[in-house]
């Protein structure tokens, strides 16, 4: 193999060189060029030439492979077929590209001249240019009269500051104003709790101790803006031993016989708090691991959320189905400036 | 000068000559060829990262254009009828359905999606690594400060391009990403809620966001990136490329290969290599299998999900921040105003903004910060080896550590499940590390830099260890050192080691506050320094050396072995 590193091997230079009194070593200049094997040996040169050609030929094979994959592997709705086609298209492209790329680089490294060349840098600007430019700018300013006529300058300035404002204002209709939308959800007195996503109502007797339900309000699947309403209204329903719940004053009747419902939207940045640890009665948000304790009314016990999950007051209707007593008593989901 | 009156005196003889002359006499290509045909570019493997970034961008344009022909950025509801059976009949957005069609029903579509996604990941990575190279080698110093700033803008743009594209398939994973963006936006004081409503065209998720991100992703952001790349490369040509110091290389020359043929062949060939490697990855490794996630729905979420790597540090920062401390303190402050109470969510704002502000401010301003510390206003075309700027290197490593701890925090749940440790403990440790990790990394890496400099001194002074052990006649064993050649020694000694600048009193004998601070900072930067070996030292050390190790006779006996 041709060694392309510089400097004659094993050159040990005498130490007591002239210039020992200097503060720094003098630049010894470019090391002597060392010819590569292909520079000296015509056989090696021929070999390198053949290698480059072979690499280009591999590229041709790669292109053919791509066409085989594209035309001769019909997709039949199975993942295996798709995988095979993807593999052949990908490997075909890879060989087609790598053949060309490696070939060219190999060509450059073995056969093209490898003499390093020195070129001098020039200044980014010359002093003469700077002076000329300065004079030109001054002449332009002078001829325009912008310095001598402050009335023109100031009115232009004022106009230029105001003129872009419509360009900002015109984006006003990107969206409606928030209004009260973030503070209310589809829940209301008597709205049944139904299963997500089927929308079938839930009886209190369906909810055994230890179980958890993903809940949406009845009728959600029929509304126009379903996803927007769902993003606020999803609820987790769980049943604990009533002894384990410690409702604060005023919230004693928000649950029903150990069944409680809490907003599923994290108060941190709004991910669904989807993980229920049955043993510890903790709710965990899989996005940022905020952990809420059901036994303490979903108080934050770990993670970046700062606020408990809002509780949905529930009761049962005449037919034994779970219904909401009212909407949430506070806005659900991530915090926002107007929340207070 | 004026071509209209110029008469043609040159008649080309070959066909190529005729074509080129035809073009040249109309647009003046000769000047370009003369300027660039033999322009010299220095060569070093670290100069490759910028090339990777450029080439991945080209690949992104090619594969992205293909995808636009089949993708439909509509959030209208539809029922999937394509080839992927598990999702047949499922209600979803047109955007998600068309992404599935690209994957399952358009031949080569999956391959294009995969290469586009992999190229995007590599694009951001190569921009970042390229910037680290520029930082650690001091290539941002005068006259290249503006180009560094252009690079910083490109980094931000590449993040923006990545994120806007990530959300387009409208799958469950990216939808939850948007949900987080929405939550962070709403935490912004005063205008946050409005920003969110304007971006999403109403309440989250709305029916506008995908179309808007699409326009940003395929038009606005790539256009600005292209413009910035143009400016970036223009300045590279203007300044000529920087080079590492070494024999034959000076601050006033460029040593390397001419564009034609060697550099063009290597750089051009490298484009195909990058393309080929990306194609191989896209062939063999699945990325973003959106069919497994399902369409976006605000209710379900999967555990253990990760954003694309470059968003990870922000997501990690969100996880690191405690929302509450103890039982009675939380970071959501309810501030009473005359018109009512407003909520300030510092538990979201601090992690979402503070690390990004620190990192980007430091990045943008670094060339001027360092110039102020060193008071160095000279032009620099010779790079630093990172070890020869120990404090800068240490600051860079501290920054990387800060970033990487946040990045690791984005996987806190996966670290916990994979290594069977407590999720809470992982987070407590990472909270500790995000503060103290950078400090520790700073100290360790500065020491390593200084140690490497001392090693260089050792080699320059005493030569390289040959591994040959010789027993002297009086019984002592020594290892024979072999002097390095002039070229190698020059490489080891060709650097500057700035000294502490002590503030000087003005004519009243007073030292101003700024000078005082500067003196302190200068001491912090340069108090510990290793000077390059001088010829004087070398000569002196040799006198010692031979006296120390062996007498003349011994030396002769060594030589004869």
d(CA B338, CA B321): 31
Q: What is the mean pLDDT of chain B?
A: 92
Strand-strand pairing, A212-217 and A314-316 = unpaired
Of A86, A109, A227, the CB nearest to B298: A227
Integer Cα distance of B91 and B103 in angstroms: 18
Q: Which of B78, B183, B411 to mutate to test the interface with A (most CBs of A within 10 A)?
A: B183
Separation between Cα atoms, residue B87 and residue B83, nearest integer Å: 9
Residues from chain A contacting residue B487 (CB–CB below 8 Å): 6-7, 28, 31
Count of alpha carbons within 13 angstroms of residue A209, beta-carbon side: 9
Task: Check A116 against B255: CB less than 8 A apart.
Answer: yes
From chain A, pick out residues whose CB is under 8 angstroms from the CB of B320: 304
Tell me how many residue pairs between chain A and chain B have CB atoms under 8 A apart. 378
Residue B165: φ, ψ to 5°? -75, -35
Using CA coordinates, name the residue in chain B closest to A265: B299
Q: What is the CA radius of gyration of chain A?
A: 38
What is the total residue count of chain A?
Answer: 340
Mutate to test the interface with B, among A113, A303, A307, A310 (most CBs of B within 10 A): A303
| Selected residue of B147, B380, B382, B487 to mutate for chain A interface (largest A Cβ count, 10 A) | B487
B266 with A23: Cβ contact below 8 A: no
Task: Please check whether residue B64 is in contact with residue B116, taking contact to mean a CB–CB distance below 8 angstroms.
Answer: yes
Beta bridge partners of A322: A316
Residues in chain A closer than 8 A to B193 (CB atoms):
178, 182, 336-338
Q: Do A117 and B282 touch (CB under 8 A)?
A: no
**Confidence category of residue B543, pLDDT binned at 50, 70, 90:** low
Using a CB-CB cut-off of 8 Å, the residues of chain B touching A198 are none
d(CA B256, CA B247): 12
SS (H, E, C) A14-78: CCCCCCCCCCCCCCCCCCCCCCCHHHHCHHHHHHHHHHHHHHHHHHHHHHHHHHHHHHHCCCCCC
The token duo for A48 is: 């390198």
Residues of chain A in contact with residue B494, where contact means CB-CB under 8 angstroms, are: 24-25, 27
Q: Which of B176, B187, B488 sits opposite A271 (nearest CB)?
A: B176
Q: How far apart, in Å, are the Cα atoms of A148 and each of A16, A142, A156?
A: 71, 8, 14
Given A15, A20, A304, which is nearest B536 (Cβ)? A20
Mutate which of B101, B316, B345 to disrupt the A interface (most A C-beta within 10 Å)? B345
Contact B204 A231 (CB under 8 A): yes
Find the mean pLDDT for residues B65-92.
Answer: 95
pLDDT tens digits along B96-125? 999 999 999 999 999 999 999 999 999 999
- Apex CA B409: angle with CA A230 and CA B432, to 5°? 130
Q: Write down the pLDDT at residue B33.
A: 85
Q: How far is A154 from chain B (nearest CA, A)?
A: 31
What per-residue confidence (pLDDT) applies to B36? 86
From the list B538, B394, B522, B383, the residue with the least C-alpha distance to B452 is B394
Residues 6+ positions from B510 with CB-CB distance below 8 Å: none
Residue B255, strand partner residues: A118
- Of the candidates B115, B323, B482, which has its C-beta nearest A290's C-beta? B323
Rounded Cα gap, residues B309 and B407, in angstroms: 8
pLDDT level of residue B544 (50, 70, 90 thresholds): low
Q: What is the pLDDT of residue A7?
A: 39
Chain A interface test: which of B42, B179, B499 (most A C-beta within 10 Å): B179
**A62-85 as b/e, with b when 16 or more CB fall inside 10 Å?**
beebbeebeeebeeeeeeeebeeb
Nearest to B193 among A25, A268, A338 (CB): A338
List of chain B residues whose C-beta atoms are within 8 Å of the C-beta of residue A304 = 318-323, 347-348, 351
Chain A interface test: which of B323, B417, B546 (most A C-beta within 10 Å): B323
Residue A8: list chain B partners with CB under 8 A. 485
Which residues of B fall within a CB distance of 8 Å from A118? 40, 248, 253-255
A101: nearest CA partner in chain B: B269
| pLDDT grade for B186, boundaries at 50, 70 and 90 | very high
Structural tokens at position A96: 């087609």
Nearest Cα neighbor of B172 from A272, A65, A147 is A272
Q: Label each residue of B147-198 as H, E or C.
A: HHHHHHHHHHHHHHHHHHHHCCCCEHHHHHHHHHHHHHHHCCCCCHHHHHHH
User: Quick check: A334 and B111 CB within 8 A?
Assistant: no
Cα of B180 to nearest chain A Cα, Å: 5
CB–CB contact A234 B298 (8 Å): yes
Question: In the 8-state DSSP scheme, what is residue A279?
Answer: T
Helix axes B264-284, B48-68, angle to 10 degrees: 50
Contact in structure between A263 and A235 (CB atoms under 8 Å): yes
User: How far is B65 from B74, CA to CA, in rounded Å?
Assistant: 18
The pLDDT tens digits along chain A (340 residues) read: 333 334 344 444 444 445 556 778 889 999 998 899 998 999 999 999 999 999 999 999 999 999 999 999 988 888 889 999 999 999 999 999 999 999 999 999 999 998 899 999 988 888 999 999 999 999 999 999 988 999 999 999 999 999 999 999 999 999 999 999 999 999 999 999 999 989 999 999 999 999 999 999 999 999 999 999 999 999 999 999 999 998 999 999 999 999 999 999 999 999 999 899 989 999 999 999 999 999 999 999 999 999 999 999 999 999 999 999 999 999 999 999 998 7
Which residues on chain B are in Cβ contact (under 8 Å) with A86?
A: 110-111, 114, 282-283
Return the residue of B nearest to A215 by Cα.
B299
Cβ of A271 and B538 within 8 Å?
no
Query: Can you list the positions of beta strands (E) in B171-323?
Result: 253-258
Q: Give the burial class of B125: count Cβ atoms within 10 A of its Cβ; 0-12 exposed, 13-18 middle, 19 or more buried.
A: middle
What is the band of B413 on the pLDDT scale with cuts at 50, 70, 90? very high
What are the chain B neighbours of A101 within 8 Å (beta carbons)?
269-276
Encoded tokens for A94 = 């890879």
Structure-model confidence comparison of residues B231 and A25, the more confident one: B231
Position B21 scores a pLDDT of: 86
Which residues, including other chains, have CB under 8 Å from residue B73's CB and lie 6 or more apart? B95, B168, B210, B211, B213, B214
Smallest CA–CA distance from B410 into chain A, residue: A288
Residues 6+ away with beta carbon under 8 Å from A1: A37
* Nearest-Cα residue of chain B relative to residue A266: B183
Q: Which of B193, B205, B279 sits opposite A228 (nearest CB)?
A: B205
pLDDT of the residue at B17: 87
ipTM exceeding the 0.95 mark: no
Cβ neighbours of A108 in B, within 8 Å: 261-262, 265-266, 269
Longest dimension (CA), chain A: 108
Distance of CA A213 to the CA centre of its chain: 31
Is A286's CB within 8 Å of B318's CB? no
Strand partners, B78: B92
Tell me which chain B residue has its CA closest to the CA of residue A115: B257
* CB-CB under 8 Å, A119 with B203: no
* Residue from A286, A275, A293, A284 nearest B327 by CA: A293
Preceding omega of A197 cis (within 30 degrees of 0):
yes
Please give the pLDDT value at position B1: 43
On chain A, the residues whose CB falls within 8 A of the CB of B198 are 171, 174-175
Among the partner residues A102, A113, A197, nearest to B273 by beta-carbon distance: A102
Token reading at B463: 């030569």
**CB B323 to CB A272 under 8 A?**
no
Which residues fall within 8 angstroms of residue B212, CB to CB, at 6 or more apart? B199, B201
Determine whether the interchain pair A228/B186 forms a contact, defined as Cβ–Cβ distance below 8 Å: no
Chain B residues near residue A97 by CB distance under 8 angstroms? 272-273, 275-276, 279
Asked if the Cβ–Cβ distance from A335 to B255 is below 8 Å, we say no
Work out the average pLDDT over B520-537.
93
| Cα A313 from Cα B295, distance rounded (Å) | 31
With a cut of 80, say whether residue B429 has pLDDT above it.
yes
Q: Which of A121, A232, A285, A297 to mutate to test the interface with B (most CBs of B within 10 A)?
A: A121
- Residue B203 pLDDT: 94
Residue in A94, A287, A333 nearest the CB of B176: A287
pLDDT digits (tens, 9 = 90+) for B441-487: 999 999 999 999 999 999 999 999 999 999 999 999 988 999 999 99
Of A15, A82, A271, the CB nearest to B301: A271
Rounded to whole angstroms, the Cα distance separating A233 from A218 reads 10
């Amino acid at each position: 193999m041709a060694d392309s590193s510089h400097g004659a091997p094993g050159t040990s230079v005498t130490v007591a060189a002239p210039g020992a009194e200097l503060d720094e070593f003098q630049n010894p200049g470019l090391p002597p060029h060392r010819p590569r094997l292909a520079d000296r040996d015509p056989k090696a040169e021929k070999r390198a030439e053949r290698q480059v050609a072979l690499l280009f030929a591999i590229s041709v094979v790669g292109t053919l492979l791509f066409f085989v994959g594209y035309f001769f592997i019909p997709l039949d709705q199975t993942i295996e077929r798709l995988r095979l086609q993807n593999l052949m298209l990908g490997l075909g492209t890879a060989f087609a590209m790598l053949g060309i790329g490696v070939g060219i680089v190999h060509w450059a490294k073995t056969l093209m001249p490898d003499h390093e060349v020195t070129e001098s840098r020039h200044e980014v600007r010359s002093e003469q240019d700077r002076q000329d430019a300065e004079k030109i700018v001054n002449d332009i300013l002078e001829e325009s009269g912008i310095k001598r006529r402050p009335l023109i300058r100031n009115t232009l300035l004022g106009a230029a500051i105001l003129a872009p404002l419509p360009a900002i204002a015109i984006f006003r209709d990107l969206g409606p104003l928030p209004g009260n939308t973030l503070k209310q959800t589809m829940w209301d007195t008597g709205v049944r709790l139904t299963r997500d996503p089927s929308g079938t109502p839930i009886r209190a007797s369906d909810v055994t101790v230890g179980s958890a339900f993903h809940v949406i309000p009845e009728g959600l699947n029929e509304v126009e803006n379903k996803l927007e309403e769902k993003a606020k209204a999803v609820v987790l329903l769980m049943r604990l031993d009533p002894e384990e719940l410690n409702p604060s004053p005023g919230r004693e009747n928000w649950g029903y016989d150990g069944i409680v419902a809490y907003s599923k939207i994290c108060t941190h940045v709004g991910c669904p708090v989807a993980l229920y640890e049955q043993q510890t009665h903790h709710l965990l948000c899989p996005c940022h691991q905020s952990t809420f304790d059901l036994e303490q009314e979903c108080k934050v016990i770990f993670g970046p959320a700062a606020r408990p999950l809002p509780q949905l007051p529930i009761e049962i209707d005449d037919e034994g189905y779970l219904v909401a007593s009212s909407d949430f008593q506070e806005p659900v989901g991530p915090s926002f400036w107007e929340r207070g | 000068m004026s071509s209209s009156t110029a008469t043609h005196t040159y008649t080309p003889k070959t066909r190529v000559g005729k074509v080129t002359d035809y073009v040249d006499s109309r647009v003046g290509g000769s000047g370009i060829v003369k300027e660039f045909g033999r322009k010299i570019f220095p060569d070093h493997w670290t100069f490759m990262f910028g090339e990777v970034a450029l080439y991945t961008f080209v690949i992104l344009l090619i594969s992205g254009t293909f995808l636009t022909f089949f993708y439909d950025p509509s959030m209208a509801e539809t029922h999937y009828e394509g080839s992927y059976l598990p999702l047949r009949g499922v209600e979803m957005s047109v955007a998600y359905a068309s992404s599935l069609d690209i994957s399952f029903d358009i031949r080569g579509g999956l391959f294009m999606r995969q290469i586009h996604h992999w190229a995007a990941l590599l694009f951001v990575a190569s921009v970042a690594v390229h910037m680290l190279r520029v930082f650690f080698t001091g290539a941002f110093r005068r006259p290249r400060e503006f180009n560094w700033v252009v690079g910083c803008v490109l980094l931000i743009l590449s993040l923006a391009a990545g994120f806007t594209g990530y959300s387009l398939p409208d799958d469950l994973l990216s939808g939850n990403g948007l949900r987080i963006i929405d939550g962070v936006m709403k935490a912004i004081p005063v205008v946050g809620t409005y920003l969110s409503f304007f971006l999403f065209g109403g309440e989250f998720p709305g029916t506008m966001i995908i179309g808007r991100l699409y326009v940003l992703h395929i038009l606005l952001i790539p256009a600005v990136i292209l413009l910035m790349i143009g400016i970036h490369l223009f300045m590279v040509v203007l300044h000529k490329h920087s080079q590492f110091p070494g024999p034959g290389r000076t601050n006033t020359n460029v040593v390397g290969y001419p564009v034609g043929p060697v550099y063009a062949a290597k750089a051009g060939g490298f484009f195909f290599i990058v393309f080929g490697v990306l194609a191989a990855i896209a062939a063999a490794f699945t990325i973003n299998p959106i069919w497994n996630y399902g369409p976006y729905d605000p209710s379900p979420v999967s555990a253990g999900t990760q954003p694309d790597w470059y968003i990870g540090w922000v997501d990690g920062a969100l996880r690191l921040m405690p929302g509450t401390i103890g039982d009675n303190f939380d970071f959501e402050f309810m501030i009473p105003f005359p018109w009512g109470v407003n909520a300030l969510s510092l538990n979201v704002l601090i992690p979402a903004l503070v690390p990004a502000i620190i990192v980007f401010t430091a990045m943008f301003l670094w060339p001027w910060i360092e110039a102020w510390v060193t008071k160095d206003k000279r032009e620099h075309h010779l790079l630093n080896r990172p070890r020869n700027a120990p404090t800068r290197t240490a600051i860079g490593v501290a920054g990387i550590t800060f970033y990487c701890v946040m990045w690791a925090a984005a996987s806190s749940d996966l670290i916990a499940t994979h290594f069977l440790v407590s999720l809470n403990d992982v987070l407590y440790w990472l909270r500790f590390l995000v503060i103290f990790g950078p400090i520790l990394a700073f100290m360790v890496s500065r020491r390593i830099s200084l140690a490497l400099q001392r090693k260089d001194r050792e080699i320059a002074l005493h030569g390289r260890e040959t591994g040959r052990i010789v027993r002297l006649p009086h019984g002592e064993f020594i290892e024979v050192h072999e002097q390095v050649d002039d070229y190698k020694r020059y490489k080891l000694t060709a650097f500057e080691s700035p000294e502490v600048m002590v503030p000087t009193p003005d004519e009243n004998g007073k030292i101003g506050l700024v000078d005082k601070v500067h003196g302190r900072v200068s001491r912090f930067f340069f108090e510990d320094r290793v000077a390059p070996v001088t010829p004087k030292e070398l000569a002196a050390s040799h006198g010692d050396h031979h006296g120390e190790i062996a007498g003349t006779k011994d030396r002769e006996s060594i030589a004869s072995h």
